[in-house]
C-alpha cells in the first residue's frame, strides 16, 4: 500500500484566495482525520470522519474551513478565504476503528498564505 497520500506537498497562495487540500486514505481504513501542525500549537485535530460521515468538527477554526469526504477513498479540506494565520502544515491520517496498528499519517501539505 502506498500509504496516505496528500496533495499538493506545498502550496503558496495570496490572502483571500481559496485553497483546497486533498487526501487519499489507506484502502480499508474507516476513519479519516485532518490535523494542523504549527510551532506554537503543535498538532491540532480539525475534523474527523467515520465511514465518510463527519463525526467531530469542533476543531475547525471557523466557517472559512470546510471538509468533505464524498467517498471512502477521497477527502478534501477547503479554506475560503485564506488568511496568513492559516499558514501551517496540514496532515491527513487514516486508521481502522480499533486503532491497534496506529493512525497512519500522510506527508502533509505545507500551506503558506502571503
Which stretches of the chain bind another protein, using CB under 8 A? 4, 31, 33, 42-43, 45, 48, 50, 55-56, 91, 93, 95, 97, 99-108
C-beta closer to another protein: residue 81 or 104: 104
C-alpha cell at 31: 476513519
Give least dist CB 93 to another protein, A. 8
CB 20, CB 78: distance < 8 Å? yes
Give least dist CB 78 to another protein, A. 20
C-beta closer to another protein: residue 39 or 70: 39
In terms of Cβ atoms closer than 10 Å to its own Cβ (0-12, 13-18, 19+), residue 13 is middle
C-beta closer to another protein: residue 81 or 110: 110
Query: CA-based Rg of the chain, rounded to a whole angstrom?
Result: 13
C-beta closer to another protein: residue 31 or 65: 31
Give least dist CB 58 to another protein, A. 10
Give least dist CB 42 to another protein, A. 5
CA angle 78, 22, 99 (to 5 degrees): 105
C-alpha cell at 29: 481504513
Peptide bond into 81 cis (omega under 30): yes
Amino acid at each position: 500500500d502506498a500509504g496516505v497520500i496528500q496533495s499538493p506537498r506545498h502550496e503558496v497562495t495570496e490572502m483571500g484566495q481559496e485553497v483546497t487540500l486533498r487526501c487519499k486514505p489507506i484502502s480499508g481504513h474507516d476513519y479519516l482525520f485532518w490535523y494542523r501542525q504549527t510551532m506554537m500549537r503543535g498538532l491540532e485535530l480539525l475534523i474527523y470522519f467515520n465511514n465518510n460521515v463527519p463525526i467531530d468538527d469542533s476543531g475547525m477554526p471557523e466557517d472559512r474551513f470546510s471538509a468533505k469526504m464524498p467517498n471512502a477513498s477521497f477527502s478534501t479540506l477547503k479554506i475560503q478565504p485564506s488568511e496568513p494565520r492559516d499558514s501551517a502544515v496540514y496532515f491527513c491520517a487514516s486508521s481502522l476503528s480499533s486503532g491497534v496498528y496506529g493512525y497512519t499519517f500522510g506527508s502533509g501539505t505545507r500551506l503558506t498564505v502571503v
